[in-house]
Amino acid sequence: MAQKIKLSTIAEALNVSTATVSLALRDSPLVADATRERIKEHARTIGYIYNRRAASLRTSRSGIVGVVVHDIMNPFFAEILRSIESELDRSRQTFLLSNHYDQLEKQRTFIDTLLQLGADGVIMSPAIGTPAADIQLAEANGLPAVLIARSVEDADVPVFRGDDAYGIGLATNHLISLGHRRIAMIGGTDQTSTGRDRYRGYVMAMEAAGLPVETRWRIPGPRTKQAGFEASQQFLALKDKPTAAVCWNDLVAIGLMNGIARAGLVPGVDVSVTGYDDLEEAAIATPALTTVWNGQREVGRRAARTLLDRLNGVEVHGGQELIRPELHVRQSTGKPVER
Amino acid sequence: MAQKIKLSTIAEALNVSTATVSLALRDSPLVADATRERIKEHARTIGYIYNRRAASLRTSRSGIVGVVVHDIMNPFFAEILRSIESELDRSRQTFLLSNHYDQLEKQRTFIDTLLQLGADGVIMSPAIGTPAADIQLAEANGLPAVLIARSVEDADVPVFRGDDAYGIGLATNHLISLGHRRIAMIGGTDQTSTGRDRYRGYVMAMEAAGLPVETRWRIPGPRTKQAGFEASQQFLALKDKPTAAVCWNDLVAIGLMNGIARAGLVPGVDVSVTGYDDLEEAAIATPALTTVWNGQREVGRRAARTLLDRLNGVEVHGGQELIRPELHVRQSTGKPVER
DNA sequence: CTGAAAGCGCTTACAG
DNA sequence: CTGAAAGCGCTTACAG
């Protein structure tokens, strides 16, 4: 690798100042057209590489936006990420991705890295137990934050998430209207705002219909296909086995249906199952999954836009913005069959 | 946000030089223990944030490693990424992730960003059509590269991937040994080294067993669950319908099985299906999928280690390193049933 | 429209 | 063991 090419290399070769080169490369109208073209042409031919670290040290804007979620491999987040990506792409921000796997320490390390790199902002689905102080620390050091999927109490930043209580109510009421009276709730945890809201939505719907809510019908925990698959055993062994299951998300629902099928029962007939999120996969599952669309693309798009607005100095108010979910009925739910 | 805290803030407060502070914070043995502790303690209490841009401008090491793959949401890559992540984590490198969706332009933009940020290295699954020159450009500008999953002709860098011809041979031979004679190959493309190798492995196994290879039994293209699902129609309408299908990967296989089930046939009985990759999902599919373990974790781990070696100045030789796949037999394959 | 000079916040020889 | 000074490669007032 030859001598490093920098602004001054170009400046010397063309007999102009580095200031002129700098301005020309950034298409400043201050530079005469001819000069600008000459400079850009030369930069291209000698293979000049812009040094963003140097620029950012000077300007204190880095062009980096951090995104941290529980797990990027989870298709729910994957769909959100895709829409954040496409939104950010057009603004020429680089996005730095990370998982925290719900470990506060990992999340802190990532935020620290962003601060060190002088990132312009962060979009995060906060790890379980994130204190408001962690977010305030970021904000206080010039790293504006926008939350997705989960909220953090007392953190005065914008939050975009689905209306979980309402959404799970749609699924529960759908089952009730089909005639189900014993309905289980599988998966989720009380440690997240989402978990609490969904359970509350389920209980409210049951009670509004005058149906009993048995604590043993709740199997908390599962959030993955594998865990849903394993939960099927517990579900099938339940005394007064429910005829339907409201699942935490599509992954749990699909796993549960696989487990039910493995046990020789027919999901959608012997047991009605609802999912949540409406992943691409829901429509091609067997049977096709009745589920609640959770507005992933919308969440990602609005979170990204809001952050970009903040970066551009637009005044943005904190607080939750709830996306309204929709029920998508398919083949995994039907009238109850008693055997 | 108050006055920005920097090295000199600490130096002035404690009446030492910035050099001493800099050394102390990086645990240099050159600094007396007492001084070091005093400095670190003070840095902590006033909330000092290390400015990596400034440091990296000076040292020309950034602590950033780029990783770019076709699609991080694809579980095959997801598993590779997880192992890269855990390997990189212990070396305190930050990793910058990106998708290129097989678009050369996106890949180029990403590599360019890495160069501008002064990244230390890149691990990539090259986009279809990546010329060796793209990789040489990176290397020439001080960005060492390591390839995963696909190779690029004439690029003299380390490559880690599975032995695809051998692996698909395992699946094909398994079906042949069960008595299948008409075997389809679903998915994949001739535009990637992986695609060519897998098709070659299938053809070789068929010919070695003296079986005919009909071009209409090949349905190229599908690489996703959705596409596999859609391909089932074409497959089921085939003249002399094959009794088994070797699929490009687990996603295609699961999609295909869903499509077969939707048509009223029983996958694993009426049609035997094999996958490729052995994703976590393969074991809980219905029926459980017979597939070929493709060594994702191994690929990620070794690619990351090799890159870290290069960063530490260890001499590394270019060229392919093939991970040997293994057949995992489950319920989706059985003796042929003629109707 | 263009140039000379200062400065962003670190680290690294070098001197003591 | 510690300090004074130069320099990494940009951008930004300021002057002309």
| CB contact B34 to A (< 8 Å) | no
Neighbours of A31 (CB within 10 A): 21
Give tens-digit pLDDT for B90-131. 888 888 889 999 999 999 999 999 999 999 999 999 999 999
Neighbours of A195 (CB within 10 A): 19
Give tens-digit pLDDT for B225-272. 999 999 999 999 998 899 999 999 999 999 999 999 999 999 999 999
**Total residues belonging to chain A:** 339
- Asked if A256 and A187 count as a contact pair (C-beta separation under 8 A), the reply is no
Contact A51 B118 (CB under 8 A): yes
pLDDT over 90 percentage in chain A: 85
Mean pLDDT over B176-187 rounds to: 97
Q: What are the angstrom distances between the C-alpha of B336 and each of A122, A186, B203?
A: 55, 39, 20
Which nucleotide C1' is nearest A20 CA? C2
Distance B51 CA to D2 C1' (A): 23
What single-letter DSSP state applies at residue B85? H
pLDDT over 70 percentage in chain A: 99
Chain B residue numbers with beta carbons less than 8 Å from the beta carbon of A83 are: none
* Residue A200 C-alpha, separation from nearest chain B C-alpha, in angstroms: 30
Q: Please state, in angstroms and rounded to a whole number, the distance separating the CA atoms of residues A31 and B83.
A: 49
Closest of B157, B131, B134, B195 to residue B320, by C-alpha: B157
Which nucleotide C1' is nearest B22 CA? C11
Give tens-digit pLDDT for A285-295. 889 999 999 99
Domains and CATH numbers, chain B: 7-50 (no CATH), 62-162+296-322 (3.40.50.2300), 164-294 (3.40.50.2300)
| CB contact B255 to A (< 8 Å) | yes
| Long-range Cβ contacts of B137-144 (<8 Å, 24+ apart) | B137/A47, B137/B111, B138/B111, B138/B114, B140/A1, B141/A1, B141/A47, B141/A49, B141/B115, B142/A1, B143/B66, B143/B111, B143/B114, B143/B115, B143/B119, B144/B120, B144/B307, B144/B310, B144/B311
Give the closest residue to C8 (Cα–C1′): A58
Chain B residue numbers with beta carbons less than 8 Å from the beta carbon of A285 are: 258
Label residue A291 exposed, middle or buried (CB < 10 Å: 0-12, 13-18, 19+).
buried
pLDDT for A338 equals 66
Q: How confident is the model at residue A3 (pLDDT cuts 50, 70, 90)?
A: low
Give tens-digit pLDDT for A178-231. 999 999 999 999 998 899 999 999 999 999 999 999 999 999 999 999 999 999
Give yes or no for residue B339 having a pLDDT over 70. no
**Which positions on strand C lie below 7 Å from a protein C-beta?**
1-5, 7-13
Contact B57 A53 (CB under 8 A): yes
Quote the mean pLDDT of chain B.
Answer: 93
Chain A residue numbers with beta carbons less than 8 Å from the beta carbon of B73 are: 72-73, 75, 78, 81-82
Which nucleotide C1' is nearest B34 CA? D1
**End-to-end alpha carbon distance in chain A:** 76
Give yes or no for residue A1 having a pLDDT over 50. no
